[in-house]
Chain A
């Protein structure tokens, strides 16, 4: 177990190192001088030199990389070309909004997917099963930004029940927080929920067909007991994996929904930094996303090993 844990963690560390090289290379792949691009057309030599020196772009490449990576390890991701603020600070400011939306969406997704997927697997070829199929096809195929715009049209425009977008912290205005959270959480929740529904359905079906369930039924256990102890417990295993992957996606992949609902999260920050050619911020955001993705996947794998001893190698 310890060996597996170490090997798996080491693997993630290697991938992270590679990722950091790619992220670092990003700025250097941009044709032209990133500092000049960031400053625009009107600037004087002194400003230019100052920014160049502060961002370390005047040093040799290898030295730049190790300097940047070393500082990143201590939580220092450099300063924004635009505002001069530390990138870490800019990211921390946006983190609460992104984390809130991610967990709210995951909650919506699981609330839809677990009951729908389970019931549709237990009652195949019924109305519920068909509804689950239609729902998951819809969620996988619908453009999330379009669904967001349609929801805004209906619930903010026609009905006037909810604000069109924005964000207020929970501590300041709990009702306003909830009102602004509902629509983006439903949009991303439906998208992820549709993926999870398919997984729940197929893993329940698989568990239903397994030998130990047949044995349990053969020895005359009540159906309810078979379902909870033999089917659902085993069907939950794949759910851990897919939920982890979806959480990683929700923490990083909801750029477009954040834009539609003017949600001040990390995706919005990343897009703004692309538009402003603020490469240190973009680098920091991408590095953080990749780190989150790797850590969640690592945790999921380890958790999986803990609950399913068969995986241990």
Chain B
């Protein structure tokens, strides 16, 4: 059941240009990366050029869908950061007289059953949803990639033991595993992040391992080993930087899944707890009023959908730029 050891991404250099925008490459992009250019022939064989983030950004800008998604995501993050000044009202300003008001000038997204402004709660809920999502993916990324790196680099029994443990975690259905973690740890935002992270650790481990397997036997790694580089140096200077592209793509896709999972768990009453605003929780609260006041559930759902869509589109764009060969490895969304 192991991920097939696909031939790794082309090491360093310019990412394969599949995107139509092939503007003549500007040479200045070589200077700031800190990586030695191809000038010194001897060093170039030993130390591969690192993936250059400027190059990545330039290629990404040539992909309109991904570029729009990235800009929208930036806006969503800004809204989440500056939520308090942006929100017209507080999250829990109750106005019983003005309850269940349809969308209008005063309340663009209407009010809920307690007269709270839906738009304000969506703005204030953004930081909750994003914080849980980012934290979950950060944990999964650090733990999962470390496991995958060790398994792929050392092979043999290290690989067997680590990957069989990952298989065990992977055998649990995603949502149910998260529910089980929350059943043990109790509800709340921090535990939700942990629960989602547990689901995604094996996926990061597999993606990293597959990528490391492709890089491990590259000439520059063997060359570096033969001149006496230690494991730590090999891992941090050569293997990890060159195995990174699929991991970066996976991170973007996982963020989409994490935001979706946070919403689902909060919807089930296991994630963020009331009266805190969270998109999934708002959907659950609005569900009972769906025929009376559709806007309470509709707009938070729209917010989840747009955020998840942007992360997925960005992930697809990054994959086209960074890692075109693995386009179908995960199938997206982690569902």
Contacts and interface: CB of A to CB of B under 8 A. Distances in A.
B151 interface: no
Interface stretch (A51-59, A76-84, A139-147, A170-178): A139-147
B305 interface: yes
Contacts of A195: 331-333, 335
Contacts of A277: 183
Contacts of A274: 179-180, 182-183, 270
A271 B184 contact: no
A153 interface: yes
Q: Is the interface of A mostly helix, strand, loop or mixed?
A: helix
A64 B298 CA distance: 48
B226 interface: no
A252 B269 CA distance: 19
Interface in A243-282: 248-249, 252-253, 255-256, 259-260, 267, 270-271, 274-275, 277, 279, 282
A14 B332 contact: no
A47 to B, nearest CB: 23
Given A18-B165, A199-B331, A202-B327, A150 B179 contact: no
Contact of B332 (A140, A270, A279): A140
Contact of B176 (A260, A289, A294): A289
6 contacts: A15-B167, A143-B305, A144-B264, A255-B175, A274-B182, A293-B172
Contacts of A143: 260, 263-264, 280, 283, 301, 304-305, 308
Nearest to B1: A297
Interface residues of B, number: 47
A249 B170 CA distance: 12
Given A146-B297, A255-B175, A26 B308 contact: no
Interface string B291-310: 10010011001001100110
Given A253-B174, A256-B264, A290-B171, A141 B290 contact: no
Contacts of B171: 15-16, 19, 290, 293-294
Nearest to B168: A18
Contact of A286 (B167, B180, B267): B180
B304 A146 contact: yes
> Which residue, of B171, B177, B312, B327, has the highest number of chain A Cβ atoms within 10 A?
B171
Nearest to A157: B291
Nearest to B178: A255
B175 A256 contact: yes
Interface of A: 11, 14-16, 18-19, 22, 26, 29-30, 136-138, 140-146, 149-150, 152-153, 157, 191-192, 194-195, 198-199, 202-203, 242, 248-249, 252-253, 255-256, 259-260, 267, 270-271, 274-275, 277, 279, 282, 285-286, 289-290, 293-294, 297, 301
B158 to A, nearest CB: 17
Contacts, number: 146
A189 to B, nearest CB: 13
Contact of A150 (B164, B263, B298): B298
Interface of B: 1, 164-165, 167-169, 171-177, 179-180, 182-184, 256, 260, 263-264, 267-270, 280, 283, 287, 290-291, 294, 297-298, 301, 304-305, 308-309, 312-313, 327-328, 331-333, 335
B295 to A, nearest CB: 11
Contacts of A198: 328, 331-332
Q: Is the interface of B mostly helix, strand, loop or mixed?
A: helix
A198 B331 CA distance: 7
A18 to B, nearest CB: 4
A211 B169 CA distance: 39
A14 B290 contact: no
B21 to A, nearest CB: 17
A275 B183 CA distance: 8
A194 B334 CA distance: 12
Given A15-B168, A141-B260, A157-B290, 8 more contacts: A15-B167, A29-B184, A143-B304, A146-B305, A198-B328, A199-B331, A203-B328, A271-B179
A141 B333 contact: yes
Q: Which are the 5 A-B pairs with shortest beta-carbon distances?
A: A146-B301, A252-B173, A140-B333, A141-B309, A18-B168
Contacts of A270: 176, 179
Contacts of B312: 137, 140-141
Nearest to A271: B268
B335 A255 contact: no
Given A141-B256, A149-B301, A282 B180 contact: yes
A255 B179 contact: yes
A149 B283 contact: yes
A141 B308 contact: yes
A144 B332 CA distance: 16
A145 B313 contact: no
A152 B288 CA distance: 11
A34 to B, nearest CB: 10
Nearest to B260: A143
Contacts of A145: 263-264, 267, 283
Given A140-B332, A149-B301, A195-B332, A26 B268 contact: no
B176 A286 contact: yes
A144 B174 CA distance: 15
A293 B290 contact: no
